[in-house]
């Protein structure tokens, strides 16, 4: 049985197969390949897009979805996460999708289940389905020619799990990763080129991935105000005109902090296309893991 904890759980070939299924699912034709299957979602952290994206993907394929209300679940009564998951597993679901603030938690649950576990975000560690949908959006935009493309990941690269998963995934498809962040958000490793301003890299860049400041993961206040951050890191029309790059953001966007209102309407800003692609990619992943298709 296969789980999805991090993007390296899939080979390059498997990822390309997921992309071809996703292309078909983007047509949104009625389909019931997961009819009779039951998928449980367990979200211990806030989510708008990811949970509804998984739910819509599952329903598009004919599956039923049970969202465990973690606010009222027994973990609040002192039950351990392992017991909660073992109990859910005893009800024989076909997959469990989990988001938690603790890095490594989804992986540690594997020994307690008989169905695939899908990591929908674990702390600042990984968010594999987001990175796969980001790569898919890039792949489609450049018609498969990702080799040699340069990306600038801009913002809170230290605390963002989206940045973490993309840093590991994109180089496998020949994409050169550059990180742009203020000192307080710099990534602690040295495998990537790091910059302090967008101006230093922009003329050389094909893709910009803007990130949200992960305020919930900071235990100190770095900035007087987010406006101060925006002065240096917000994606503006001036940058869009200076270089022709594809603009991505995983959402939720802090308007006029991460990306300006005008740029959100720009044709090279693909934030909503990422959301649409997310449903198709998650449908392809559910199909692969639940039907155990190699």
Closest CB to ligand NCD among residues 212, 287: 212
Name the closest residue to ligand NCD (Cβ).
212
CB of 138 to ligand NCD, least distance (A): 16
Closest CB to ligand NCD among residues 124, 287: 124
- Binding string to ligand NCD for residues 11 to 50, with x set by CB under 6 A, is what? --------------------------------------xx
**Residue 226 near residue 257, CB atoms below 8 Å:** yes
- Is residue 155 close enough to count as binding ligand NCD by CB under 6 A? no
252 appears as a binding residue in the annotation: yes
CB of 211 to ligand NCD, least distance (A): 6
Phi-psi region of 171 (alpha: psi -120 to 50; beta: other; left: phi over 0): alpha
H or E element, residue 110: none
User: For 5, which DSSP code?
Assistant: S
Extract the tokens encoding 206.
């094909």
77 appears as a binding residue in the annotation: yes
251 appears as a binding residue in the annotation: yes
158 appears as a binding residue in the annotation: no
**Longest C-alpha distance within the chain, in Å?**
57
How many Å apart are CA 167 and CA 131, to the nearest integer? 9
Secondary structure (DSSP) of 131-187: HHHHHHHHHHHTTT--TT-EEEEES-TTT-HHHHHHHHHGGGGTPEEEEE--GGG--
- Is residue 210 close enough to count as binding ligand NCD by CB under 6 A? no
Q: What are residue 34's phi and psi, to 5 degrees?
A: -110, 25
Closest CB to ligand NCD among residues 213, 260: 213
Closest CB to ligand NCD among residues 37, 65: 65
Extract the tokens encoding 203.
């003329």
CB of 170 to ligand NCD, least distance (A): 16
Q: Is the peptide bond before 252 cis (omega within 30 degrees of 0)?
A: yes
Q: State which of positions 76-135 bind ligand NCD (CB under 6 A).
A: 121, 127, 130
Q: Which of 62, 171, 182, 251 binds ligand NCD (CB under 6 A)?
A: 251
Q: Which of 162, 170, 235, 280 binds ligand NCD (CB under 6 A)?
A: 162
Closest CB to ligand NCD among residues 171, 251: 251
130 appears as a binding residue in the annotation: yes
């Amino acid at each position: 049985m296969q789980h999805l904890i991090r993007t390296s759980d899939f080979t390059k070939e498997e990822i390309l197969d997921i992309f071809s299924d996703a292309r078909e699912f983007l047509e949104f034709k009625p389909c019931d390949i997961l009819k009779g299957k039951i998928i449980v979602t367990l979200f211990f952290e806030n989510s708008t897009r990811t949970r509804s994206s998984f739910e819509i993907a599952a329903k598009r394929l004919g599956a039923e979805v049970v969202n465990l209300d973690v606010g009222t679940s027994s973990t609040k009564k002192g039950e351990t996460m392992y017991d909660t998951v073992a109990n859910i597993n005893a009800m024989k679901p076909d997959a469990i999708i989990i988001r938690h603030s603790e890095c490594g938690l989804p992986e540690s649950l594997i020994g307690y289940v008989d169905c695939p576990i899908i990591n929908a975000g674990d702390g600042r560690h990984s968010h594999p389905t987001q990175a796969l949908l980001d790569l898919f959006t890039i792949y489609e935009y450049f018609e498969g020619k990702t080799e040699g493309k340069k990306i600038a990941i801009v913002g809170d690269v230290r605390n963002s799990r989206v940045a973490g998963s993309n840093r590991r995934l994109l180089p496998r498809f020949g994409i050169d990763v550059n990180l742009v962040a203020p000192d307080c958000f710099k990534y602690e490793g040295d495998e990537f080129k790091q910059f302090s301003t967008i101006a230093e890299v922009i003329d050389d860049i094909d893709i910009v991935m803007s990130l949200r400041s992960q305020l919930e993961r900071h235990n100190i206040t770095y900035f007087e105000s987010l406006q101060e951050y925006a002065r240096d890191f917000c994606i503006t029309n001036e940058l869009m005109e200076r270089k022709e790059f594809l603009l991505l953001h995983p959402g939720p966007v802090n308007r006029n902090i991460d990306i300006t209102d005008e740029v959100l309407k720009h044709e090279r800003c693909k934030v909503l296309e990422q959301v649409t692609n997310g449903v198709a990619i998650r449908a392809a992943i559910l199909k692969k893991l639940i039907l155990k298709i190699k």
